[in-house]
Amino acid sequence: MKKILYLDCFSGISGDMLMGALADLGVKPSAFEWELTKLDIGDFHMHFDRKFKGAIEGVKFSCHEGKVHTHAQDEKDGDHGHDHSHDHGEECGHDHPHEEGHHHHDHPHDHEDGGCDHEHDHPHVEGHDHDHDEGHHHSHDESRNYSQIRDLIEKSSLSPFVKKHAVGVFHRIAVAEGKIHGLPPEKVHFHEVGALDSILDIVGACIGIEALGVDEVHASALQEGHGFLECAHGRFPIPSTATLEILQGIPLSQTDEPYELITPTGAAILAEFSKSFGLMNQLSTVRVGYGLGTRNLQSRPNVLRAVLANVPGESAGPHTDTVVVIETNLDDVTPEIIGHVLTESFQAGALDAWSTPVQMKKNRPGVLLSLLTEPSRADELARWLMRETGSFGVRYTHYHRSKLHREIKTVQTTYGPVEVKIGRDESSVVVFSPEYESCRKIAEKGKVPVRLVYEAALKAVKAD
């Protein structure tokens, strides 16, 4: 059997709704909190509250910038409306997130971001001007560009899975915003998406999905509202321009609800993770969780329903998928540019990248540049490749591949902890390899050869 997460977006999706749904599925608030402390984002505290949206009980996630406060302070301020009683049992090995109601983190860094309003987590370059709900406030003085957020994530000690997908989500938003505003992704400045709440939503969603240990994520066809948004650039129809850009190629329908139901953050998370968009197919439900939104809608409850389920198929062992190789021949690009493209292509969506010397027309020596990617990211990556190299065109080739189930495991060596990539078939470990960057960092810290750290990691995983 294969373990999947199915996101039923009948009432749209936003970052905070997904966080609430993941918590309701059983991911501990302490698991979110522990991992998020690895980011240098200042003081914050998070709330996971059991509430109702219509007749549906679920989890309302919110976060605030600032020092930790206590329940005593809540009571002093007159906040008595939290119900903390609920039991999900032992699924996923996670306690229910609401034993204590609120979960806080005090991170000893100065921080100027405001509080959080998740219903409108728009990334537009100059921000949106919305009426925010229920005591949540943004400080728009804090602005981060895509490169800064990428560096913030990559320099942290988050897991490779979380780093890869969190950067991927932000990159999708940056590419969309860059296209809209005529800027390269690295130059796009995020205001609301660069704020504390959206960073917690995006990185937290990646943490929660990893914690559930699912093999794949799937989603329903998406439902959006209609009407107009008032933003710094004027009045624009729903879906927002960024959301439409991010959701290219993904089924989308509009409802008669006069609100934005799909935020750019929610759209980018779906585009990053979901393997398909459609009806449930042969799901054997394990658990259902509900993440609550802020709106009171007329035609449906404003909730995201998340289904943890098993489906027929192998969860480990060789399995197949489809990938795309994008290629272009270059004879007028310097080696420095080739090296830059190969390095940056991974952030742009490549799974692998390589160059091959070739002989081109008129006997010119050239380079065949090849990028491997998922089909859903091929068009975006091709546009990026043409911009970076000045190529007039690229070629696509679709391939079917068979691959082992992969996981990253940390092993203890005499030099320190090292990450090892492990490939499994149905019954056993087939191959394993220490991660070079992990070995390099440990070797640099201990002032020893990388080779010794690599060998120590191999011994450690064999002995495990």
Task: Order across the sheet with 429-434: list the strands.
Answer: 405-413, 416-424, 429-434
What's the domain count of the chain? Answer: 3
Please report which confidence band the pLDDT of residue 194 belongs to, taking 50, 70 and 90 as the band edges: very low
More confident residue, 268 or 42: 268
- Same domain for 304 and 363, yes or no, is no
pLDDT exceeds cutoff 70 at 109: no
Q: Residue 332's domain is classified under what CATH number?
A: 3.30.70.1380
- Same domain for 368 and 454, yes or no, is no
Q: Residue 434's domain is classified under what CATH number?
A: 3.10.20.300
More confident residue, 251 or 114: 251
Predicted local confidence at residue 116, as pLDDT? 35
DSSP per residue over 34-67, as a string? HHHTTS----EEEEEEEEEETTEEEEEEEEEESS
> Locate tokens 């609920």: which residue?
86
Predicted local confidence at residue 413, as pLDDT? 93
**Could you read off the pLDDT of 392-440 as tens digits, one per residue?**
999 999 887 777 777 888 999 999 999 999 887 766 777 889 999 999 9
Q: Which of 403, 426, 451 is the last residue of a domain?
A: 403
SS3 236: strand
In angstroms, the Cα distances linking 402 to 320, 322, 399, 420 are 4, 9, 10, 21
**Could you read off the pLDDT of 177-192 as tens digits, one per residue?**
888 888 887 777 775 5
| CA torsion through residues 126, 132, 135, 136, sign | negative
- Same domain for 439 and 302, yes or no, is no
- Same domain for 154 and 238, yes or no, is yes
- Same domain for 174 and 88, yes or no, is yes
- Same domain for 182 and 247, yes or no, is yes
- Same domain for 146 and 174, yes or no, is yes
Quote the domain boundaries for residue 458: 405-463
Per cent of the chain over pLDDT 70 is: 79
Query: What b/e string do you get for 224-240 counting C-beta neighbours within 10 Å, with b at 16 or more?
Result: bbeeebebebeeeebbb
- Same domain for 210 and 257, yes or no, is yes
- Same domain for 243 and 373, yes or no, is no
Question: pTM for this one?
Answer: 0.59
- Same domain for 379 and 422, yes or no, is no
Rounded to 10 deg, the angle between the 378-389 and 160-181 helix axes is 70
